[in-house]
Structure 1
Amino acid sequence: MAEAAIGLIGLGTMGSALALNIAEKGFPIAVHNRTAQVTRDFHAGAGELAPRVIPTESLKELVAAIKPPRAIILMVPAGKPVDQQIEALAPLLDPQDLVIDAGNANFHDTNRRAEAGLPMRFLGMGVSGGEDGARHGPSIMGGGAQQDWDRIAPILTAIAAKAEDGTPCATRMGEAGAGHFVKAVHNGIEYADMQMIAEIYGLMRDGLGLPADRIAGIFEGWNDGPLQSYLVEISGKVAHASDPHSGEPMLDMILDRAGQKGTGRWTAIEAQHLAAPIPVIEAAVMARNVSAQLEERKAAEDRFGPAPQPCDLDEDLLERALIAGKILCYAQGFAMISAASGTFGWSLPLPDIARVWRAGCIIRSTMLNDMAEALTENPGRNLIMAPGFASRIEEALPALRRVVAEGLAKGHPLPALAQGLTWFDMMRTARGTANMIQAQRDFFGAHGFERVDGRDDPHGPWGA
């Protein structure tokens, strides 16, 4: 007899954690993995939750175990594996059954699937928070038809993280790929947030000569103030940790080569298509790519000498610089979401997005409460122009300018912080230098330009 409220395919790290979360919240769940032994081991290790977990060793058995109309979450690798799983399920499902892709899908793939006329209902769902979030409360960003979201919303809101006011961090963002798009921007901001923290860490380590335990204490102190966030919190923890083998600070034993799964890169690429400037995120993606060029960097240091030199900075300047950088980064991210909303016709709910990110996800922070309020007041206004954030930028900008100037002068690479400052200076300049570019374009290609006096004379005298 079918008794599961929902099904789940893919018992990797995230899938296993999400399945246990669903079971813990009181919903019987049928689970399946391509390797049957993985399913058996998962059920055996579910402990007191095992009675709510129904292990199945075939897709037919999985489908039979779920109450109709069925809902099945896919937690399989993005791309072709999702298409293959949908194809395998199609003959077994009814038209009103629902397949939910909860992996790190490219939103273009989600759009394609939603528009393909699949023989079942389909929902895209971004899930953020890593293994711990999936197990104890993630941030969930849905994309698809309202009726499909409403059908599974009781489960999703039950398993989602809860903000301080008790609001579940689970919201439908719009049609088709809207949820996966918002998740991609979240990941882009995550890249940038991590990069800016790393740049500040580098200034403390190489510019101020601080040991790891002192750096840890600084991050811990900052986590009690405006910078309170998950990423600042864990930065303090990792800086405190010692290597169990050598007894040295764990950070000093980790190779300076960062990995990535590609979602930050997707964000940077899509921003170009949308003509939505996100230079802080783009700088963070670039920095990860450069970090992978370890041998080339070693060769360049041998040729040119080590760059970082001591800096005349202090903790207060670094804290305020990071505050400014964070605001500028998030302003760019929300502006990109706004641009996508108009381009794709999604009506993406910016205040709700800020609220969904307040808990459960990797970029959760107290600052998002104020961002949600500012976006509620005026969703079409860039965050830097919201009165509260404009005041914070004015207060913190001198520190960001000082940190970037001093750091770059002393050879410290600060791509994300510097790009945030450059973008802000461009945004606050009413008459920039693009007139020179337009003149050049008209000179070599007769592309024309707009005149400041409004005359209908779109070419320069060089045309003759």
Structure 2
Amino acid sequence: MENFDFGIVGLGVMGRNLLLNMADHDFSVAGLDLDAEKAASLEKEADDKHTIKGTTSAETFVKLIKKPRAIMLLVPAGKPVDSVIDSLLPYLEDGDIVVDGGNSYFEDTNRRVKSLAKKNIHYFGMGISGGEKGARFGPSMMPGGDKDAYERLRPIFEAVAAKVGGEPCVTYLGRGSAGNYVKMVHNGIEYAIMQLIAETYDVLKRGFGFETAQIQQLFEEWNQSELQSYLLEITAVILKKEDPNTGKPLVDLISDTAKAKGTGKWTSQNAMEIQAPVPSIDLAVAMRDISKYKEERVEAASKLRWNDSTETVNNEEIKALFKDAFHFGMLTIFAQGMAQLSIASKEFDYGLNLEEVAKIWRGGCIIRAAVLEDFRKAYKNNPELPNLLLDEELSSQILPRQKAMRSVVKIGIGKGIPMSVYTATLSYFDAYRSESLPTNIIQAQRDYFGAHKYERIDKEGVFHTEWEN
């Protein structure tokens, strides 16, 4: 007893794979699950070289782990997390560490941090990205909590994390719920880039008649360029897969009603609360919502018609145009997400180092991409950079591509094909680069109907006008 390095509660796919990953790196690990079959089968998966123990008893599980204990929860977010904490508390002691490795809402993490601190127990919220394969062979991990307590976790996490250039894709991120917040925004960026890829596929297919195989080849080519990213890579694989019964591309037989677990919505909601504009993420969430209204969309398709003019186009020119527009879109989406992290770090006193965030996202995680190394360099050069669009190197990549972006958005509008994220991304760019915005009209309107007052550009103070006189 008390000889095991680490424990995980929840032996589903993620928990089991992460435990096996730790065992591969010579850590002794214990697992707890109410399902006796899962607990027993965990030990069977390990070979003689690994020290792994599975149990269904919370008391036995806690007593297996060396002090100060390090225990990770990999259970569904919400009430299940609180339930597991309650089951462990009678056996935990001062200085023990509990790590929530699920996609918990950051405010829930704040509550748990305060509650467990009263019992002298350290609570960490840690985002994990990379899916089941990442958990087994190297995820990106985003822990936040007490900095001193992190030293108990660091050797294990650094060993099992994905590596880029020998550097582990994990680091201490900041105080309180910093880890969960960073993972939440990671998922928001993920939503937007997934939608950007989907819209590219849609316009090429519906708008220009590209076959699925042509789009697959295009995405595969892009992934060998400066656009290299995990999401492009897997999309190329998806488009290549054939249905064994019909021989058709499997993706063509998949329903267009998308689901979501809520992290994208949380990103948008909190961005609005802290006044961090992320319209690309907002619209990516909205498009998933619209997809659920299938029956209404089918009816609307027969009534709300639009016939675009057919044009003869050069496929190679279209491919080049969309490549530049996609590049513009991906960079500007990342800029929005990273700007939200910058604002949130000040708002919630996280103390985030955005260079470190970009660094640990380079490998293991779902949004890993070649451009993250450019982001890391940008924040290294200027740790206080409020927005990636202000970095000279990155703006030099974006500016030559804005013409393509504008052309692609016009194409979507002309053809009546929804390009919500493309359009929102361009609008964000244009708003951010506008020295003057028409919000002076809004100030005046608010003062007219609500006497909310307004500011002037020629003198200090706030003013109210009787507009009818």
TM-score by length of 1: 0.97
Q: Counterparts in 2 of 1:299-338, with a 5 A limit?
A: 299-305=299-305, 312=313, 314-338=318-342
Of residues 290-299 and 188-197 in structure 1, the stretch that sits farther from structure 2 once superposed is 290-299
RMSD: 1.6
Alpha-carbon distance in 1 for matches of 2:275, 2:439:
16
Cα pair 1:207 1:309 within 8 Å, conserved: no
The alpha carbon displacement at 1:436 in A equals: 0.7
Matched, 1:420 2:421: no
1:374 corresponds in structure 2 to 378
Matched, 1:430 2:421: no
Cα pair 1:43 1:50 within 8 Å, conserved: no
The alpha carbon displacement at 1:456 in A equals: 4.6
* C-alpha distance 440-231 of structure 1, shift in aligned 2 (>3 A): same
* C-alpha distance 309-177 of structure 1, shift in aligned 2 (>3 A): farther
2:152 corresponds in structure 1 to 151
Matched, 1:139 2:144: no
Alpha-carbon distance in 2 for matches of 1:50, 1:85:
30
2:127 corresponds in structure 1 to 126
Report the identity percentage. Answer: 42
* C-alpha distance 52-103 of structure 1, shift in aligned 2 (>3 A): same
1:87 corresponds in structure 2 to 86
Matched, 1:357 2:358: no
Q: Counterparts in 2 of 1:40-439, with a 5 A limit?
A: 40-44=40-44, 46-48=45-47, 51-116=50-115, 117-119=117-119, 120-163=121-164, 165-305=165-305, 312=313, 314-381=318-385, 382-439=387-444
The alpha carbon displacement at 1:51 in A equals: 3.6
Cα pair 1:207 1:308 within 8 Å, conserved: no
Cα pair 2:122 2:145 within 8 Å, conserved: no
List per-residue Cα deviations over 1:40-78 (Å, max 9, x = no partner): 12322x142774211112111111211122111100111
2:464 corresponds in structure 1 to 459
List per-residue Cα deviations over 1:16-63 (Å, max 9, x = no partner): 11111111111110111111112112322x142774211112111111
Q: Counterparts in 2 of 1:28-47, with a 5 A limit?
A: 28-44=28-44, 46-47=45-46
Q: Secondary structure at the match of 1:314?
A: helix
Alpha-carbon distance in 1 for matches of 2:43, 2:224:
40
Structure 2: stretches of 5+ with no match in the other structure: none
Alpha-carbon distance in 2 for matches of 1:49, 1:420:
53
Alpha-carbon distance in 2 for matches of 1:12, 1:307:
50
List per-residue Cα deviations over 1:387-426 (Å, max 9, x = no partner): 1111111111000000001111111100001000001111
Q: Secondary structure at the match of 1:462?
A: coil
The alpha carbon displacement at 1:292 in A equals: 1.3
Cα pair 2:227 2:369 within 8 Å, conserved: yes
Alpha-carbon distance in 1 for matches of 2:440, 2:2:
68
Alpha-carbon distance in 2 for matches of 1:41, 1:463:
78
The alpha carbon displacement at 1:272 in A equals: 0.6
The alpha carbon displacement at 1:305 in A equals: 3.8
2:402 maps to a residue whose letter is L
Matched, 1:440 2:435: no
Q: Secondary structure at the match of 1:173?
A: coil
Q: Secondary structure at the match of 1:171?
A: coil
Alpha-carbon distance in 1 for matches of 2:233, 2:306:
30
Q: Secondary structure at the match of 2:421?
A: helix
Alpha-carbon distance in 2 for matches of 1:54, 1:261:
31
Structure 1: stretches of 5+ with no match in the other structure: none
1:180 maps to a residue whose letter is N
Alpha-carbon distance in 2 for matches of 1:445, 1:42:
64
1:434 maps to a residue whose letter is T
2:326 maps to a residue whose letter is L
List per-residue Cα deviations over 1:361-402 (Å, max 9, x = no partner): 000011000011011212333111101111111111000000
